[in-house]
Structure 1
Amino acid sequence: MHEPAFWRRPSSLLSRLLMPLGALYGAVAARRLMRPGARAGVPVVCVGNYHVGGAGKTPVVMALAGILRSLGETPVVLSRGHGGRLHGPVRVDPQKHTAADVGDEPLMMARTIPVIVSRQRAAGVAPALALGASVILLDDGFQNPALAKDISLIVIDGDRGLGNRRVFPAGPLRAPLPPQLVRTDALVIVGDGTAADEVAASIDARGGLVMRARLVPDDESVAALRGRRVCAFAGIGDPARFFRGLRACGIDVAAERAFGDHHPFSQRDIAELRTIAERDDLTLVTTEKDLARLRNGESLAAFARAVVPFTVALAFDDEPVLRSFLTDRIGRARR
C-alpha cells in the first residue's frame, strides 16, 4: 500500500476527522500491548516499528543475526510472513517457496538465516527450537502479545520519523506512542536524519539504548551499475530512500517508478518497465526485496533475470556497544 500523504504532515483536516477512529483503534492496541505473552523457553529479541510501513527492519534483523552468531548464539527468525498465503508454521525454503507462499522479506532472509513463518507466533516457537535456536529473532511482532519479549528493539527511519504521530487511520502509529515507548529497550535510527531525535531523547531518558545505523551498499552492486544509466523501481516502504541511495553512489538514475510496499507486480507493470528500459536504453535495477517477489512464477522470473539487484547491508555506528547490550540482556533472560 502507498502511505497517505497526510500521514506525513503535521496536521490536516482528514487526519482530524479520522482521529475518533484512531482513538478506538489505539485503545484496543494499547490493551493488547499490556497482555502477558507466552515464554518461548529461549530469549526472544523482537525487532519492530511503532508505525505501519517500512523503516529498515529486515536489514536490522539480518545484521542482528550476524552479531548473535559471532557471540556464539544460534538465531532463528520467526515471522508472520506478511503477503504470503501459507499460515504455517513452516520453515522457509528458498528453493521451494515463493514470495506468494511466505512473503518477500522471509524469502529474502532465508537465503542466509533459518526462518520460520507462522501466522500464530507462539506456534512457530517449537519449529524454531527444533532447528536448534538459542535465540529467537521475532520479526515485526512488537505490538503482538502472543510471545513474551526479552528485548524489544524498535527501528525508525531518521529522515521520515513518525509522521504526524497519530494513530492509524489518522496517522501511521500502530498504537499510542506512550505505551510503546515504555516497552522499548533499544532504538535503532537508520540514517543521519533528525526526525527521530525527540523519540531518541525519550528512550535515552528511560535508560534505553539508542543506536545509529546506516545502509551500506554492496561494492559489487555499485560496480555492476557504474557507468550505466538506470531505470530504478521499488515497492518498499520508502522507495525514495532507495532512489537517493543509488544517486549517492554515483549511479545515473534516469527514470524512477515507485510502487506501494509489498506491491504484487503485474504483467502490466512489467510491460511498462520493459518499455521504458528499451526506449531509453536503461538498465533495470531494484531492491532484493522486490526481486524476491519478481521470482514468483516463470513469467515474472524471466523478467527478473534481466534486473540488476542493488544489495545493501546495515552497519551499526557503535557495534561494540550493541554487542555488550545483547550479551547482558540475553544473559539476564537466561538467569
Structure 2
Amino acid sequence: MPPVFPMLTVLSMFYYMCLRRRARTATRGEMNSRRAIESNTRALPINVEIVQYAKEVLDFSSHYGSENSMSYTMWNLAGIPNVYPSSGDFTQTAVFRTYGTWWDRCPSARLPFKRTPSTFCSQDYVELAFEEPVYPTAVHILETYHPGAVVRILACSANPYSQNPPAEVRWEVLWSEAPTKVNGPQARQFTPCIKQINFPTNLIRLEVNSSLLDYYTELDAVVLHGVKERPVLSLKTSMIDMNDIDEDEDEEKFGCGMDTLNKQFSIVTLREWPTNGYFDKLPYESVCFCVCMLGICIVTALLFLKNLYIDIQFF
C-alpha cells in the first residue's frame, strides 16, 4: 500500500475529531472568554467590573443546525463573537428552529399548556454558563440578523461548575418585555436595563419569541458584566426630582443604571477579539477541511521529492 493512504486516513480522523470536539464542548474562544477592565495578571479586586463571554452552552430548546455540525447551532454562542458587528446570514451564529407564526398554524402544532400564565410569551430558550460568578451589572446580546426576539433574561443562583450543588435553586428575572419587531435586519448590540439581584450568578438564561419576525433571528455572543461584591445604590438617588427628568430623552442619552457608568469599558472589550479578515468568517468545518487538505498537499509534496531524490541517486 502506498504510504500516502495511511496519511490520508490519519488526516480524515483528525478532521472528524475536530468536528466532534467543537460540537460537544464549544470551546472556541475559551481562552478569551473572561475579560476584565484591568489587563494585568494579579488577582482582581472585588469591586472591579469583570467582563466575560459565555464559556459554555448548557441547555437549549432547539436550534436550526444538526447535532454534529457547527452551522446555525447554539454552540456558536460560546466564546468570543464570530460575526459581530457584521450583519447578514452567517452559519457561525446561533439560530433557533422557527420564526413567525406558521408553525403554530400548521396541523401538527402542539396544543398550548393550560396552566401557562397569560403574560408568558417565551417560545425558545438557551442557558449559558460563565467562568466567574458575579453580581450582574449589564448583559450585552450581540444580534447579527433580524434582532428583537429576546423577551426575557434570567439569572440562576446555582453554580454549574460547583462540586456542591445548592439545596435551593433560584431563578431571578433580570429583564422581561413583550416581543417587538425591529425595523430592519441589521446587527445590533442589545443591552436592556437589568435589575440588581442579591446573589452572584454565572448561569444566564435567554428566552426568545420569534413570532413577529419575518425570518430567523441570529445571535452571535453574550457578554456578562458584573462585580464580585454586591453593588450598593447611592443614597443620593433618592434626592433626584422626578419632574425634572425627561424619560425618553434621558434613555437615549444616558442608557440605564450601572451599565452606563461602564459603557466605555464594554466598547473597548468588544473590540478586543482577533481580526483575521474574512478568514474568521469561515465555518469551523471549512477551516478543518482546509487544514486537512494542506496536510495532504504537504505529504504529497514530500513523497514526490523523496521519489525524485531516489531517481537522481539511481541515475
Verify same fold: TM over 0.5: no
Larger Rg: 2
Q: Which has the higher contact order (CA 8 A, sep 6+)?
A: 2
Greater share of residues in helix:
1
State the TM-score, normalized to the length of structure 2.
0.25
